[in-house]
Amino acid sequence: MKGGRAMRRSDLIRGLQGINPAKPYGTALFDALAKVTVSVAVEAVCLQLKRKEIVGVCCETSHGLVQTDDASYNIVEVYMTHRPPDDTAYPSEWHCPGSVLRSGEDIEDVFNRLVDKEFGGGTIQSARFVANVNNPNEARGHFLSLVYLCCLQAGRASEMKGMWFPVDQLPTKTIASHRRRIIPAALGAFVAENIQCA
């Protein structure tokens, strides 16, 4: 038994040494490695202010009918993408764009991948680091998320791969760590610094 276990380890080590770290591992291998390592994820939380207009309405009061004034206010929206139904960890759930940092990459490399994979026709105008979110109990394993507050220059709606949602009306099927920790971390910085995308 002892010899068999050592043999399996040596086979595993040889197999891992043959992996090209600059290329995707594939879902099955990534999921297996995520269970025994800490994965570093880069999360791009894109927020925007959107003006909501309210047209005056007629209200009945004890003094008769009263016309209210037109009003407007800003709501904060977050850009989210939808995972496919066959996703191994979060099937059909919404999340902020993000990806795991690969060996030899820097943050800019991850953002370049996200532009192609999750933004479609949009481009990231700016990205500012705002928080670390440690999640040792993520569905796939232990993840450390580097949260970046981003300004997104949206492309044509037909090319975009995600949707904008008011931060207080996220889809029911939103990944829990994004709803509870990642979006709030970026939202706090957004509100505190009064960032606006042109």
Q: Mind listing the domains of the chain with CATH numbers?
A: 30-193 (3.90.79.10)
User: What's the predicted TM-score (pTM) here?
Assistant: 0.79
| Six token digits for residue 118 | 């999750």
Q: For the stretch 4-30, what's the b/e string if a residue is b when 16 or more beta carbons lie within 10 angstroms of its beta carbon?
A: eeeeeeeeeeeeeeeeeeeeebeeeee
| Per-position pLDDT tens, the chain of length 198 | 455 555 577 887 787 778 887 777 777 887 788 888 899 999 999 999 887 665 555 666 565 666 655 556 678 999 999 999 998 889 999 999 999 998 888 999 999 888 878 887 678 888 999 999 999 988 888 999 999 999 888 766 666 788 899 999 999 999 999 999 999 999 999 987 764 554
Q: What is the pLDDT of residue 198?
A: 46
- Residue 129: per-residue pLDDT: 96
Q: What is the identity of the amino acid at 7?
A: M
For residue 57, CA distances in Å to 60, 65, 75, 89 come to: 10, 10, 21, 47
**From CA 1, how far away is CA 43, in angstroms rounded?**
44
pLDDT tens across 34-85, in order? 888 899 999 999 999 887 665 555 666 565 666 655 556 678 999 999 999 9
Measured CA to CA, the distance from residue 102 to residue 32 in angstroms comes to 15
Place of tokens 């939202």: 187
Closest CA to 184 of 121, 133, 124, 144: 133
**The two three-digit tokens of residue 133, written as one number:** 């979110």
Residue 173 contacts by C-beta under 8 Å, 6 or more apart in sequence?
Answer: 92, 93, 94
